[in-house]
Amino acid sequence: MIALANQISIGGDAKMGTATFIADEAEFDGLLGDESLLVVDCTASWCGPCKLVAPMMDQLAEGYGDRIRVFKLDLDSNKEVAKRFSIRSIPAVMFFKQGELLETIIGVKPYEEFTGAVDRHLA
């Protein structure tokens, strides 16, 4: 748990705003056609654990920005996306390539779990 707290602290020092919000399902669908790896952080403004993952997504966007695209999606405004991908718990981070869902990581995890997923899907 100490390592997780350290990663959250490190993530909090990263420049904020690098992973921008997707406006709606139409924009989300447009992003799915992208050939690069797409990472979508499913979140909600009232979700405490989501606030722990958000800085890590910004850090991920900064660290891999030239090879992946990282976005945040407010599930309160996009309930159909949650239904479509069976998201029942947040935070949930989905990894897509060419429109195909490759993996979903549920919950607050160490930063290394997210980078490990990115590295696996870039290989």
**In the chain, % of residues over pLDDT 70:** 86
Average pLDDT over residues 36-64: 96
pLDDT at residue 102 is higher than 80: yes
Q: How far is CA 26 from CA 29, 43, 75, 99, 108, in A?
A: 5, 18, 14, 13, 27
Active site residues: 47, 50
pLDDT tens-digit series, residues 3-17: 333 333 333 333 344
Write the CATH number of the domain with boundaries 2-122: 3.40.30.10
Domain ranges of the chain: 2-122
Whole-prediction pTM: 0.84
**pLDDT for position 80:** 94
**pLDDT for position 34:** 83
**pLDDT for position 35:** 85
